[in-house]
Amino acid sequence: MPLDATPAPLVDSFGRTVSYLRLSVTDRCDLRCTYCMAEKMTFLPRRDLLSLEELARLSDIFIRQGVRKLRITGGEPLVRRDVMDLFRNLSGHLRRGRLDELTLTTNGTLLARHADELADCGVQRVNVSLDTLDPERYRAITRLGDIRMVLAGLEAAQAAGLRVKLNAVASRGMFEHEVDDLIRFAHGRGMDLTLIEEMPLGDTGLDRNESVISLRALQADLANRWTLTPERRSSGGPARYVRVAETGGQLGFISPMSCNFCALCNRVRVSCTGRFYSCMGDEGSVDLRAPLRRSVAEVQSTIRQAILMKPERHRFDLSRMAEPAVSRHMSALGG
């Protein structure tokens, strides 16, 4: 069936226009970050994943429906063997002006291997997750990781001309002492840094009450040592930004728990099995894989209907961290 030639923009029932898709290409990962996964995880059988061709076709449908920004995520997207073929395919949308931005969120362990090709595909920015600069702490947080791989990835990305933003999940304890070093490290190398509040997604086997901290409180503490000036920019995204006068760099705060940002939300997510989620903080999802195997028109109308179900706001609550607010792990959708 032919594509709907002039599809209407994707607008939810609260008037928010959706222009940003986060596409997960795998639920697998080479790390097991304590806030993200349980130590022992059972991953999906590979046959359940959308094929590369299906991921590309689905992206195309979303782009025709008004998506202008596409972020590839996971699990760890770079562990999927054919992921660079997907980037190569999607780069065509950038060249034809149908997409404003193609980006990647990665843990960075395999970035050194792929940085040049990513840049060649038109990727201009990557988000790299790094919560500490201490090799032992890094190992403890990720359970499996070697920080040297990430540092090599950061260097390769910058050498390839990619802009890098570091993402760090804030946690109670050591992180509060290390955050100053992370600011100096990131800003000293021309990278932005965004701090993320831990969210109660999936059972990790650990009590999140022990680790969660409010970024409002952390920001107030940082303001005792750094000169933080709020930035005006808004990307429709969840982060609030400040400029750090001492470094000249930008510091972001993603605080879904202590500061709700849903009114500006312009994003939707698709899992690696083709399930569509209009909100990360909600259990609701619909299947796009079966429609995709039948007709484009069916995918388009399923997306339109599902967007109308986008909740007004997520269900996270700082006072209820003991139980997951949603049962899926962060790695199932990629943040």
Query: Which residues are at the interface with ligand SAM (CB under 6 A)?
Result: 29, 35-36, 73-74, 76, 105-107, 129, 167, 169, 196, 198-199, 201, 330-331, 334-335
**Residue 36 binds to ligand SF4 (criterion: CB under 6 A):** yes
Q: Pick from 222, 332, 241, 298: which is nearest to 58 by CA?
A: 298
Give me the 126-145 binding string for ligand SF4, x by CB under 6 A, dash otherwise: ---x----------------
Give the Cα separation of 234 and 279 in Å (integer). 19
Q: Which one of ligand SF4, ligand SAM, none interacts with residue 196, CB within 5 to 8 A by kind?
A: ligand SAM
Is residue 167 at the binding interface for ligand SF4, with CB under 6 A as the rule? no
Least separation in angstroms between residue 29's CB and ligand SAM is 6
Strands lying side by side in the sheet with 250-254:
228-230, 239-244, 250-254, 192-196, 163-169, 125-129, 101-106, 69-73, 20-24, 267-270, 275-277, 286-287
Q: Angle, to 10 degrees, between the axis of helix 174-188 and the axis of helix 215-222? A: 60
Shortest distance in whole angstroms from residue 166 CB to ligand SAM: 9
If the CB atoms of residues 70 and 201 are measured against ligand SAM, the closer one turns out to be 201
Asked if 331 touches ligand SF4 (CB under 6 A), the answer is yes
- Using rule CB under 6 A, residue 76 touches ligand SF4: yes
Cβ proximity to ligand SF4: between 59 and 107 the closer is 107
Residue 299 contact among ligand SF4, ligand SAM, none, beta carbon within 5 to 8 Å by kind? none
The site for ligand SF4, by CB under 6 A, has a size of 13
Taking alpha carbons only, the member of 112, 115, 109 closest to residue 129 is 109
Considering only residues 16, 22, 32, 165, which one is a binding residue for ligand SF4 as defined by CB under 6 A?
32
Contact partner, 183, from ligand SAM, ligand SF4, none, Cβ < 5-8 Å per class: none
- Per DSSP, the chain holds a count of helices (H) and strands (E) of 11, 12
* Partner whose footprint covers residue 32, from ligand SAM, ligand SF4, none (CB < 5 to 8 Å by kind): ligand SF4
33 binds ligand SF4 (CB under 6 A): yes
Q: Which residues contact 185 (CB under 8 A, 6 or more apart)?
A: 133
Residue 126 to residue 161: CA distance in whole angstroms: 11
Partner from ligand SAM, ligand SF4, none contacting 199, C-beta within 5 to 8 A by type: ligand SAM
H-type alpha helices, 121-245: 135-142, 147-159, 174-188, 208-211, 215-222
3-class state of residue 69 by DSSP: strand
Nearer to ligand SF4, 32 or 93 (CB): 32
- Least distance to ligand SF4 from the beta carbon of 204, Å? 10
3-state secondary structure of 286: strand
Q: How far apart are CA 149 and CA 139, in angstroms?
A: 12
Residue 213 C-beta: closest distance to ligand SF4, Å: 17
26 forms part of the interface with ligand SF4 (CB under 6 A): no
Q: Quote the CA–CA distance of 146 and 144 in Å, as a whole number.
A: 7
Q: Is residue 211 at the binding interface for ligand SF4, with CB under 6 A as the rule?
A: no
Strands (DSSP E) contained in 54-95 are 69-73
Residues within the interface to ligand SF4 (CB under 6 A): 29, 31-33, 36-37, 74-76, 107, 129, 330-331
